[in-house]
Structures are given as C-alpha cells and as structure tokens.
Amino acid sequence: MKKATKVMALAAAMVMLAGTLTACGGSGKGGKITFGTNAEFPPFEFVASQGVIDQYDGIDMAIAKNIAEQNGMTAAIENMEFDSLLVALQNGQIDAVIAGMTATDERRETVDFSTTYYTATQVMIVKEDSDIATAADMADKKICVIQGYTGEICVQDMGYPYEAFKKGTEAVMELVNGKCDVVVIDSATAQKYVSDNEGLKIVEDASAFESEEYAIAVQKGNTELLEKINKSIEGMLADGTINELAVKYTEAVSEE
Ligand code: GLN
C-alpha cells in the first residue's frame, strides 16, 4: 500500500470505529450482525428502492432485522452470488447467511443451521401450453436451473442434462423466449415469476421433489450466535411474525 493510501485507510478505519462506538452505545462489542444474502430471490430477498435494511427487502431481510434488534444489535447485509455465500461465511466475511437457503445434509458438513423458519419445495415453471405434467416429463426437454440452488442438485440427481444460470430472472427469460422448456426453482419464488410474466404456469410433483427447510447458516461451532438466532426465530414462529411476513411479501410481490 502506498503511504497516502495507508493514511486514508487508517482515517477511514477510525471514522468507522467512531461510527460503531456511537451507533451502538451501550450494546457492547460487536453490535452488528452481518448477514450474507443473494438479493435475487423474491419474496425472500430482493433489491427495492427502499428496503427494511438499506435497499434490501423481503421476508428474510425482515427476519434478519428482527433477529439483530431483538439482541440489541443492528443488521447489515452483504449481497453476493448464492454460490459464494458459504465460502464467505467460512472466511468470516459475514456472520450468518440468510438466503432462502435449504438446510441440506451436504451443507451441514461445512456450516451449522438454525431452527428452520420456512418450508418450500422445488416446482417446475413451464409455458401455459406445456405438456409437462410430472418431473419425469422433463426427460427430453430443455431444462434451466440456477447455479448452486437445490433445484440444480435435484435435476442433477434425476440424471437430466440442464443449463445453469446465475439468476432466476435469467432462467425465466430463457423460458419466456422459448429457449428452454422448464425452470426448476423454489415454490414461492416460482410464484413470483409466474405472476410477473404472462403465459407461464407452475407444475408441482410432490413425489419427485421433497420438501425443503429454509434455515440461517452460521460458522460451524458458533453456538453463541446460533442460540441468539434460534431464540428469535422460535419467538417469531410462535407469535406469528414469520407467517405475517410471508403473507405480506407474497401478496406484495404478486400485486406488482
Ligand atoms: N432454497 C434453494 C437453495 O437453498 C434456493 C435458495 C436461493 O436461491 N436463495 O439452494
């Protein structure tokens, strides 16, 4: 680092430190929980002109804010690719992941998950006139998934070829433009895309797609944070907060 840059970095660090000290007066060391997310997953997380945490809005963002506040802290969001979230968590770049993330056994090998707060399933989005009625009907179709999502793993396990996209919106555009026949993605998010785009419908196949439990991930062994998160989630499940948020954001996104 050049000297001038160093001085500036130091000054910036001091300003940030001063900010932290005044902003969390009394709440003690580490008054902030930095949540990583991928804000491409409505109604759980998306970018809005004004969100609950900065420009980030959605069910998960409201949950994250409540968790922080109930523990006398503030919530910050780091928005990144879905695929990078668990690595960023392991590196300590973020404290927790809240991203409509399914608690899978594979992911449990590297991180710890909170109490689950939402149950979803994979569904198929197809054109209204599609003849796809079951997952097996995808066999000779062009399938689109989103990279690193559980939908990709499901299609992989079924042994079908597919194309993976970075964002749900990109995969749905392929479908709208007739370049693919089916998008496999989580149910609530699929609902949002179907209400946003003409001529699409959802096909479910409960025998092919298992239910998935969304949970918040923390670094393995971070029981201190995990206990705080679990306590908040349990409270929000018991008093209906999470249910209300799900209704609110599902209605809001389908009315747009
Ligand atoms: N539930 C899916 C998964 O865990 C998708 C999550 C997401 O895209 N944010 O892979």
Q: Is the CB of 82 under 6 A from ligand 1?
A: yes
Tell the CATH topology of 122-203. D-Maltodextrin-Binding Protein; domain 2 (3.40.190)
Could you tell me if 211 and 121 are in contact, meaning their C-beta atoms sit under 8 angstroms apart? yes
Segments of the chain assigned to CATH 3.40.190.10: 31-119+213-255, 122-203
Q: Is the CB of 99 under 6 A from ligand 1?
A: yes
35-91 residue pLDDT tens? 999 999 999 999 999 999 999 999 999 999 999 999 999 999 999 999 999 999 999
Q: What long-range pairs does 229-234 form, CB within 8 A, spacing at least 24?
A: 229/67, 229/96, 229/114, 229/115, 230/114, 230/115, 231/70, 232/66, 232/67, 232/70, 232/71, 233/63, 233/67, 233/114, 233/115, 233/117, 234/115
Q: Is the CB of 38 under 6 A from ligand 1?
A: yes
CA 119 to chain centre: 13
Token representation of residue 239 = 């008093």
Q: Is the CB of 60 under 6 A from ligand 1?
A: no
Residue type, 76: A
The partner residues of 125 in beta bridges, in order of sequence, read 183, 202
- Going from the Cα of 170 to the center of ligand 1, the distance in angstroms, rounded, reads 15
Return the pLDDT at 27.
39
CATH annotation of 31-119+213-255: 3.40.190.10
pTM: 0.86
Residue located nearest, by CA, to atom 7 of ligand 1: 100
Return the pLDDT at 251.
82
- Going from the Cα of 124 to the center of ligand 1, the distance in angstroms, rounded, reads 15
Question: 8-12, 167-171, 224-228 — which is least confidently predicted?
Answer: 8-12
Q: Is the CB of 150 under 6 A from ligand 1?
A: yes
Residue 29 has pLDDT above 80, yes or no: no
Residue 24 has pLDDT above 80, yes or no: no
Return the pLDDT at 4.
58
